[in-house]
Amino acid sequence: MLQWIFLIGLLALLASAYKIGTGTALGRASATGERLHSLPGYYGAYTVLWAAFPALVLIAIWAILQGGLIEGIIVSELPEKLRVLPENELGLVMNDVRNIAAGAFGTGDDVDPAVKAAAMHLRSLEDMSSWAMLAAALAAAAAGLFLARKRLEPEFRARNQVERIVMWFLMGSSTIAILTTVGIVLSLLFEAWRFFEQIPPLDFLFGLEWSPQTAIRDDQVGSSGAFGAIPVFAGTMLISLLAMMVAAPIGLFAAIYMAEYASPRFRAIVKPVLEILAGIPTVVYGFFAALTMAPFFREMGDLLGFDVASQSALAAGVVMGVMIIPFVSSLSDDVITAVPRSLREGSYGLGATKSETIRKVIIPAALPGIVGSLLLAVSRAIGETMIVVMAAGLSANLTGNPFEAVTTVTVQIVTLLVGDQEFDSAKTLAAFALGLVLFFVTLILNVIALHVVRKYREQYD
Amino acid sequence: MSAVTKEQAAATDTTAPVSALPKMKGRKVCVHYGEKQALFDVDIDILDKQVTALIGPSGCGKSTFLRCLNRMNDVVDICRVSGDVTLDDGDIYDSKVDVVHLRARVGMVFQKPNPFPKTIFENIAYGPRIHGLAKDKTTLEETVEKSLRRAGLWEEVKDRLDQPGTGLSGGQQQRLCIARAIAVEPEVILMDEPCSALDPIATATIEDLIHELRENFTIAIVTHSMQQAARVSQKTAFFHLGKLIEYGDTEQIFTNPKQEKTQGYITGRFG
Ligand SMILES: Nc1ncnc2c1ncn2[C@@H]1O[C@H](COP(=O)(O)OP(=O)(O)OP(=O)(O)O)[C@@H](O)[C@H]1O
Ligand SMILES: [Mg+2]
């Protein structure tokens, strides 16, 4: 409870820092009769930043270090017989200690008194630590405030200083974003490495059979596990191809209509509506595909004498295509409208019709941007999971026939990881290997898209 | 007003044949951009096989008027045009008129160079291709070469016809656009400041081209250079704030303007 008051005090201190900073700067300026270098608000902001920054950094570091330190103390105080236990048993004991300290289960008689004592100690240490942390934060804030206040002379360039602090702050944010990505990639690499220690990479990349069920016990009948990723990637390609066959023409033509023919009013209504399509959760598309489209295609197939499975790549692909239409149309529409009017006029001025102008001038000029939007849609299609789970099935058939059930990389990753899994079996680790390959495929697509889009910028003017 | 000036023109213009008939006529042409009126009741004749220069301070409506002559203002959503504009005595704003065909007859060179993001060759070949003017590849190549030569660009680009037109310098782009326009062989050519980015030598080439084109084509040219207007045109129209102030023989406008505003503009006292 009192900790809350501390926190509120800290916030109040930060708030008043602004007033203090502004007031101090103004006061000193009028005392010496000099002009302030910056607007008074900048002195206030400078003071606030200096009060807040050390306190926040301190809290962050404290929170990171506290757990390990306290546990170290507790372990070192455990009686001899517990301390010499092997590492995993010691871990169990520490779990007990932690649970008791958090009040998770009672302090019954069956508990070792030593453990109980350790728990009490842990609790008091944690209490103390959080108190100390808040006090230290408060002190740091006050110190920062004091130091900053000392510098608030009229000729002090608060504006430039605030600018620099803002820059550091922004730099920190982008660093976090980059580091997170790097971390994810590294963990993918690491887990995939463990997978490739069990399964040779060539077998994985070029194997034709995918059935990741491995026998858990030796006496179990069942598969030994086959980790050839070709059928899975073929499924992804097939479904993405089907999706693009739907999305590319429809999206592109819709974009051309909206950019070139539609009246501004129509455009103002239809464009947002089309973009809503992109906001529908993919689960909804998924059951639309499974419950509406798949039976529809099956009946169509019966009528025309095709044998369409109840779960087919076709249903998933078509619905996925509908899902990514907005990506194609919205982006293409933007790049088409970005083609300068002078180019259109140049073409009209030579006596070209509207569709000639679109075909021969506008589309070629906007082509790199359009390609970029298509590639973006492809990466969307490759990454899509939900629709495929629901409509295309789980069986890893190596087939190019859209009427059959197939499976995709993302779906396999999901099925490999749901449920209780051991984290060192090849089956689970296969998910990371799939993820890694998928990551590289989309990465390459994105790089191409970026490259193409950048080139597009140089096209006119 | 135009009737009077036409008679005077015939009386004073020594270079123009007396028989020059109006190829295009504008009567009471008004243009609005949204609420804002940009042209007020403009009456002008563009004489057949003559060069008509449009001069006036920036923003006075020269480009706007020029764009009325091939209905290029249709492309601008907020633009409304009223009054009559005729080509060979046919109303070009009539609903039966095929705008595409009209623009093939009345070609245009724009104020800002706007080469297509295609190769130099394709830029020129664009017009002849869509109108089916070239029977085969060799005639097309001949047309391209001839157009580029007339625009004075051939020597500079003959070795790199397959490179993008957007990679040329500003002045080269302007000549490319001129070549592109004449490749279609329109009857009337509208030129909006075709020499604004050109050095004196290239300007002289274009002026020679205009002289040469005058034998077969009718030309309307917007220019900010008084000397150029005096050199190339037979008729001059002076615009100010959206109104046609004075229209007459070039010689008369530059030596003996009737309106005080014209006098002020050509002697450089305002504008
Ligand atoms: N697309 C447009 N939308 C709105 N107003 C326009 C548009 N085009 C031109 N105008 C207005 O019409 C008036 C005449 O413009 P115009 O381009 O015809 O001038 P100009 O005589 O060609 O000038 P300059 O010599 O600078 O090229 C200007 O006031 C301009 O602001
Ligand atoms: Mg202009």
Average pLDDT over residues B156-184: 91
Residue B270 confidence class, pLDDT cut points 50, 70, 90:
low
What is the average pLDDT value for chain A, to the nearest integer? 84
Rounded-to-integer distance, Cα A342 and Cα A173, Å: 41
pLDDT of residue A243: 93
Task: Kindly state the DSSP code that residue A153 receives in the 8-state scheme.
Answer: -
Q: B177 and A346: CB-CB below 8 Å?
A: yes
Task: Kindly state whether A266 is in contact with chain B, defined as any CB-CB distance less than 8 angstroms.
Answer: no
Which among A220, A229, A225 has a CA at the least distance from the CA of A198? A225
Residue B193: exposure state from Cβ atoms within 10 A (0-12, 13-18, ≥19): buried
pLDDT in tens, A283-334: 898 888 888 888 888 888 888 888 877 788 888 899 999 999 998 998 899 8
pLDDT in tens, A337-385: 988 989 999 999 999 999 999 999 998 888 888 888 898 889 888 888 8
Residue B64 contacts residue B73 (beta carbons within 8 Å): yes
Task: Kindly state whether A357 is in contact with chain B, defined as any CB-CB distance less than 8 angstroms.
Answer: no
Beta carbons within 8 Å of A345's beta carbon, 6+ residues apart: B72, B75, B108, B110, B114
Q: B110 and A348: CB-CB below 8 Å?
A: no
| pLDDT reading at A83 higher than 80 | no
In this structure, of A74-88, A100-114, A251-265, B63-77, the range with the lowest mean pLDDT score is A100-114
Task: Kindly state whether A265 is in contact with chain B, defined as any CB-CB distance less than 8 angstroms.
Answer: no
How many pairs of residues across A and B have Cβ atoms under 8 Å apart? 75
Residue A215 confidence class, pLDDT cut points 50, 70, 90:
low
| pLDDT reading at A459 higher than 60 | no
Angstroms from B127 CA to nearest CA on chain A: 6
DSSP per residue, A297-362: HHHHHHHHT----SS-HHHHHHHHHHHHHHHHHHHHHHHHHHS-HHHHHHHHHTT--HHHHIIIII
Which among A417, A454, A453, A443 has a CA at the least distance from the CA of A432? A417
Percentage of chain A exceeding pLDDT 70: 93
Comparing CB atoms, the residue among A342, A353, A360 nearest residue B114 is A342
Q: Take residue A262 and report the two structure tokens written for it.
A: 């539609």
Residue B17 confidence class, pLDDT cut points 50, 70, 90:
very low
* CB atoms inside a 10 Å sphere around CB A425: 16
Angstroms from B166 CA to nearest CA on chain A: 6
Q: Which CATH class is domain B6-266?
A: alpha beta
Is the pLDDT higher at A456 or at A363?
Answer: A363
Index of the ligand 1 atom closest to the CA of residue B193: 27
Average pLDDT over residues A217-223: 56
Q: B108 and A343: CB-CB below 8 Å?
A: no
Q: B181 and A350: CB-CB below 8 Å?
A: yes
Residues of A in contact with B104 (CB under 8 A): 350-351
Average pLDDT over residues A173-182: 94
Interface test with A, best of B70, B100, B193 (most A CBs within 10 A): B100
Residue nearest to atom 22 of ligand 1 (CA): B63
ipTM at complex level:
0.86
CA B58 – ligand 2 centroid, Å: 7
Residues of A in contact with B132 (CB under 8 A): none
pLDDT of residue A399: 79
Q: B103 and A360: CB-CB below 8 Å?
A: no
pLDDT of residue A117: 82
Residue B79 contacts residue B35 (beta carbons within 8 Å): no
pTM over 0.80: no
Nearest Cα residue in chain A from B102: A351
Residue identified by tokens 């506008």 is A362
Q: B130 and A352: CB-CB below 8 Å?
A: yes
Residue B18 confidence class, pLDDT cut points 50, 70, 90:
very low
CA B177 – ligand 2 centroid, Å: 16
Residue A330 contacts residue A279 (beta carbons within 8 Å): no
User: From chain B, which residues contact A within 8 Å (Cβ)?
Assistant: 70, 72, 75, 77, 100-105, 107-108, 110, 112, 114-118, 126-127, 130-131, 166, 177, 180-181, 184, 186
Rounded-to-integer distance, Cα A236 and Cα A108, Å: 56
What is the average pLDDT value for chain B, to the nearest integer? 88
Average pLDDT over residues A447-459: 71
| pLDDT reading at B16 higher than 50 | no
Query: Residue ranges per domain, chain B?
Result: 6-266
- Of B29, B30, B32, B33, which is best to mutate to test ligand 1, by the most ligand atoms within 8 angstroms of its C-beta? B33
Residue B19 confidence class, pLDDT cut points 50, 70, 90:
low
Nearest Cα residue in chain A from B183: A350
* Ligand 1 neighbour B61 (Cβ under 6 A): yes
Is the pLDDT higher at A220 or at B80?
Answer: B80
Residue A452 confidence class, pLDDT cut points 50, 70, 90:
confident
Residues of B in contact with A367 (CB under 8 A): none
Task: Kindly state whether A353 is in contact with chain B, defined as any CB-CB distance less than 8 angstroms.
Answer: yes
Task: Kindly state whether A346 is in contact with chain B, defined as any CB-CB distance less than 8 angstroms.
Answer: yes
Residue B67 confidence class, pLDDT cut points 50, 70, 90:
very high
Rounded-to-integer distance, Cα B158 and Cα B134, Å: 20
Residue A101 confidence class, pLDDT cut points 50, 70, 90:
confident
Rounded-to-integer distance, Cα B197 and Cα B183, Å: 21
Residue A366 contacts residue A391 (beta carbons within 8 Å): no
Tally of CA atoms within 13 A in the half-sphere of B66 that contains its CB: 29
Task: Kindly state whether A461 is in contact with chain B, defined as any CB-CB distance less than 8 angstroms.
Answer: yes
Q: A343 and B100: CB-CB below 8 Å?
A: no
Q: A461 and B166: CB-CB below 8 Å?
A: yes
* Ligand 1 neighbour B66 (Cβ under 6 A): no
Angstroms from A365 CA to nearest CA on chain B: 6
Which among A435, A382, A426 has a CA at the least distance from the CA of A408? A382
Q: A342 and B75: CB-CB below 8 Å?
A: no
Is the pLDDT higher at B86 or at A399?
Answer: B86
Residue B219 confidence class, pLDDT cut points 50, 70, 90:
very high
Residue A24 contacts residue A149 (beta carbons within 8 Å): yes
